[in-house]
């Protein structure tokens, strides 16, 4: 399930299915999406099996105090930064006791933030053994930027979960 044609609801359902199959759990840290990622995940029947919770850290200082994002990083580079996204994902994973953490941070508009233009978004996934961050350059309205950020972080999560399952299969089959 990849490509722009796949919607956020389908990606949320796939991610939760993969998490349930591996008895995995997920936690969400959101900034620009303001709870939209958590809403997509919890809209899926049975989400409570894997969904631990979410933190909407819209204010920059909450990214530090609630999610453990490095204060110097925030002061130097601002909240719209790939390392901030990665630390948010790792921080929510730790804070909520989940196997996986995902995060969104960026500029939905109407004005630039932290020297970054509208449409600059970073999404991140932190897993048991690895993490991944993606930079997005999105066009469109504030609502469109937020929706695409949700879809993309769920796509990144699904991709990482599929890769994790393949890795476990390889391990169990003696490296075949």
For residue 106, what are its two tokens? 């960026």
> 120: which residues sit within 8 A by CB, 6+ positions away?
80, 106, 107, 135, 136, 137, 138
Distance CA 30, CA 83 (A): 14
Name the CATH topology of 8-172: Maf protein (3.90.950)
The Cα–Cα gap between 116 and 9 comes to 29
Q: Provide the pLDDT for residue 116.
A: 96
Ordered mean pLDDT values, 10 residues apiece, the chain (176 residues):
71 98 97 98 98 97 98 97 98 98 97 96 96 97 98 97 76 48
* Per-residue pLDDT, 168: 66
Query: Token digits for 74?
Result: 């925030």
Distance CA(22)–CA(101), nearest Å, equals 15
Q: What is the reported pTM? A: 0.92
What's the N-to-C CA distance of the chain in angstroms?
24
pLDDT of residue 176: 46
């Amino acid at each position: 399930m990849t490509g722009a044609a796949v919607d956020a609801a389908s990606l949320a359902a796939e991610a939760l299915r993969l998490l349930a199959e591996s008895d995995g759990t997920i936690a969400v840290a959101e900034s620009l999406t303001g709870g939209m990622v958590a809403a997509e995940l919890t809209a899926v029947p049975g989400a409570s099996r894997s969904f631990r919770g979410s933190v909407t850290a819209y204010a920059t200082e909450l990214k530090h105090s609630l999610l453990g994002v490095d204060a110097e990083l925030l002061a130097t580079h601002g909240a719209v930064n790939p390392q901030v996204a990665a630390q948010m994902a790792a921080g929510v994973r730790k804070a909520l006791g989940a196997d996986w953490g995902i995060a969104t941070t960026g500029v939905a508009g109407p004005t630039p933030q932290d020297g970054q233009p509208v449409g600059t978004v970073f999404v991140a996934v932190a897993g048991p053994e690895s993490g991944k961050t993606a930079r997005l350059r999105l066009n469109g309205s504030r609502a469109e930027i937020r929706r695409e950020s949700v879809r993309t972080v769920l796509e990144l999560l699904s991709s990482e979960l599929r890769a994790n399952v393949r890795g476990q299969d390889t391990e169990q089959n003696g490296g075949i």
